[in-house]
């Protein structure tokens, strides 16, 4: 039964035609990266999406979602997360093993633990002929990455050819449906129109090309040398904004954990929030504070106390709490919470894009299937702590779950526990 529901949806999904097909990922050089710390912090907070094969969610979970969205979204996420990370580890191990066998065969060496250790050593430890050792090692790393890339290839292509466009179209619909003035809408729409996408594998395959130098550095930093970290980032810098060539970079690790049994809808759901959020950084609070007065007021009223108390708790957990620091935060509470708007505003657009998706391509989804979609899309927030600029996963999920448009889509009729925050 559950398979039938998924397959039925899958068909309607593939038959839909999308208005926006023009943007393919021609990757342009990016000259001016925002500072590395911000990017890493940003990336660290968008770890691994949960995934599942259309699990049957009892209808009773819908009222639970309406009452306590965090609980409903995060029901099984810990096991999803560890299974994804475990799956990526398996890919690494399998690929290294096969690459070693390949090298052993190529150079008529004996494959085994000793050779493996030598190949993995950093270059300080040469064995036999140093040049030859370097050659073994280069071949080994190249082969390993080639094998690892084969796992992400299908999902990467699927994202490039279809999902990126679906997310883009719905982000544009969310902008159009917003209360922004017309000229601001036009500006934001053109940013999203010109947004490009690349995966870390694509970057690594073009590493000799100087025009990818900046993105190559970014991919190494965010995705690791094998690209297998399940993260994503966008280069929302002054320069990329001015030139209109912002690129969404998704590490191949996010694609590699999809198996052949995964459905496109699951893959789309897994990437939807992350990709839409990252793409929306180009129209975030940092760039357009005056556009978000309503959202700012709502976040300040609704979440300020919780943000501060969660942050102080996080400091205690990290043993970096001081009385003076706490006093400083309390005294500058408004500014401290304002910093979080840099993340709340892209979350606002990502949530809007999901609502548009539910109204359009996903209109035949039942509330249960929509909840399943949201679990896949927001699962990676479960358990993530307040970080000083990123709100906790709980607050981020509640901002989405208590949103009036989301609740309408989910068929929630009970009164909301928290206000819905608009622009
Ligand atoms: Zn962000």
CA of 38 to the centre of ligand 1 (A): 10
Q: What is the pLDDT of residue 320?
A: 86
List 234's β-bridge partners, or say none: 248
**Domain ranges within the chain, ordered by starting residue:** 34-51+67-77+153-410
**What would the mean pLDDT of 182-207 be, rounded to a whole number?**
93
Q: What is the pLDDT of residue 206?
A: 87
Tokens representing 165 are 């466009």
- Gap between the terminal Cα atoms of the chain: 41
Proportion of the chain above pLDDT 70, given as a percent: 79
CA of 43 to the centre of ligand 1 (A): 8
**What would the mean pLDDT of 255-262 be, rounded to a whole number?**
77
The count of C-alpha atoms lying within 13 angstroms of the C-alpha of 96, restricted to the half-sphere facing its C-beta, is: 16
Its pTM stands at 0.81
Instruction: State yes or no: pLDDT of 77 exceeds 60.
Output: yes
CA of 154 to the centre of ligand 1 (A): 26
* 165 φ/ψ angles, rounded to the nearest 5 degrees: -70, -40
CA of 222 to the centre of ligand 1 (A): 14
CA of 281 to the centre of ligand 1 (A): 6
CA of 392 to the centre of ligand 1 (A): 12
Instruction: State yes or no: pLDDT of 278 exceeds 80.
Output: yes
How does residue 111 score in pLDDT terms, banded at 50, 70 and 90? low
CA distances from 422 to 141, 258, 300, 357, 391 (A): 49, 34, 13, 18, 17
Q: What is the pLDDT of residue 127?
A: 54
Pairing verdict, β 196-199 and 247-250: parallel
Q: Quick one: DSSP state of residue 386? A: P
CA of 175 to the centre of ligand 1 (A): 18
Nearest-angstrom CA–CA distance, 111 and 102: 9
Give tens-digit pLDDT for 4-60: 222 222 222 222 222 222 222 222 222 222 223 333 333 333 332 333 333 444 556
CB 230 within 8 A of CB 257: yes
Tokens representing 125 are 């430890």
CA of 346 to the centre of ligand 1 (A): 7
CA of 138 to the centre of ligand 1 (A): 35
CA of 211 to the centre of ligand 1 (A): 25
Give the lowest-confidence range in 101-115, 120-134, 405-419.
Answer: 120-134
Q: What is the pLDDT of residue 260?
A: 65
Q: What is the pLDDT of residue 19?
A: 26
53 versus 383: the higher-pLDDT residue is 383
SS3 232: strand
194 versus 4: the higher-pLDDT residue is 194
Residue indicated by tokens 């080639």: 146
Q: What is the pLDDT of residue 80?
A: 65
Q: What is the pLDDT of residue 237?
A: 84
Nearest-angstrom CA–CA distance, 297 and 295: 5
Q: What is the pLDDT of residue 30?
A: 25
CA of 11 to the centre of ligand 1 (A): 33
CA of 418 to the centre of ligand 1 (A): 23
Instruction: State yes or no: pLDDT of 406 exceeds 50.
Output: yes
How does residue 85 score in pLDDT terms, banded at 50, 70 and 90? confident
233 versus 417: the higher-pLDDT residue is 233
Q: What is the pLDDT of residue 79?
A: 61
Q: What region, left, alpha or beta, does residue 126 occupy, with left being phi > 0 and alpha being psi -120 to 50 degrees? A: beta
Nearest-angstrom CA–CA distance, 33 and 42: 13
CA of 397 to the centre of ligand 1 (A): 14
CATH class of 34-51+67-77+153-410: alpha beta
CA of 279 to the centre of ligand 1 (A): 9
CA of 41 to the centre of ligand 1 (A): 9
44 versus 423: the higher-pLDDT residue is 423
**What would the mean pLDDT of 169-180 be, rounded to a whole number?**
97
Give tens-digit pLDDT for 199-229: 999 999 888 888 788 888 889 999 998 899 9
SS3 248: strand
């Amino acid at each position: 039964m559950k398979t039938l529901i998924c397959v039925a949806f899958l068909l309607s999904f593939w038959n839909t035609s999308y208005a926006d097909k023009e943007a393919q990922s021609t990757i342009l050089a990016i000259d001016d990266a925002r500072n590395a710390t911000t990017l890493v912090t940003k990336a660290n907070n968008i770890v691994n999406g949960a995934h599942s094969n259309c699990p049957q969610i009892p209808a009773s979970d819908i009222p639970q979602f309406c009452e306590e969205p965090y609980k409903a979204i995060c029901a099984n996420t810990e096991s999803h997360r560890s299974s994804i990370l475990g799956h990526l580890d398996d890919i690494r191990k399998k690929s290294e093993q096969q690459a070693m066998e390949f090298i052993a065969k190529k150079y008529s060496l004996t494959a085994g633990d000793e050779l493996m250790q030598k190949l993995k050593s950093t270059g300080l430890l040469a064995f036999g002929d140093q040049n030859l050792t370097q050659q073994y090692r280069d071949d080994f790393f190249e082969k390993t990455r080639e094998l690892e890339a084969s796992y992400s290839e299908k999902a990467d292509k699927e994202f490039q050819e279809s999902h990126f466009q679906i997310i883009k179209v719905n982000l544009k619909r969310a902008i159009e449906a917003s209360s922004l003035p017309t000229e601001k809408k036009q500006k934001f729409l053109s940013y999203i129109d010109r947004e490009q996408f690349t995966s870390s594998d694509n970057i690594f395959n073009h590493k000799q090309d100087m025009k990818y130098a900046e993105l190559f550095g970014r991919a190494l930093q965010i995705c690791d040398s094998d690209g297998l970290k399940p993260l994503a980032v966008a280069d929302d810098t002054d320069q990329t904004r001015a030139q209109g060539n912002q690129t969404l970079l998704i590490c191949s690790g996010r694609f590699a954990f999809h198996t052949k049994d995964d459905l496109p809808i699951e893959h789309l759901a897994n990437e939807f929030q992350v990709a839409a959020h990252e793409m929306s950084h180009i129209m975030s609070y940092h760039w357009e504070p005056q556009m978000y007065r309503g959202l700012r007021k709502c976040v300040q009223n609704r979440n300020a106390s919780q943000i501060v108390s969660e942050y102080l708790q996080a400091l205690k957990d990290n043993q970096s709490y001081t009385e003076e620091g706490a006093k400083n935060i309390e005294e500058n509470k408004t500014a401290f919470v304002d910093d979080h708007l840099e993340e709340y505003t892209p979350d606002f657009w990502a949530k809007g894009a999901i609502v548009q998706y539910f109204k359009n391509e996903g209109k035949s989804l039942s509330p249960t299937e929509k909840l399943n979609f949201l679990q896949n899309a927001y699962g990676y927030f479960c358990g993530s702590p307040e970080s000083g600029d990123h709100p906790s996963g709980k607050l981020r999920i509640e901002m989405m779950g208590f949103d009036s448009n989301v609740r309408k889509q989910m068929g929630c009729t009970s009164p909301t526990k928290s206000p819905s925050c608009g622009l």
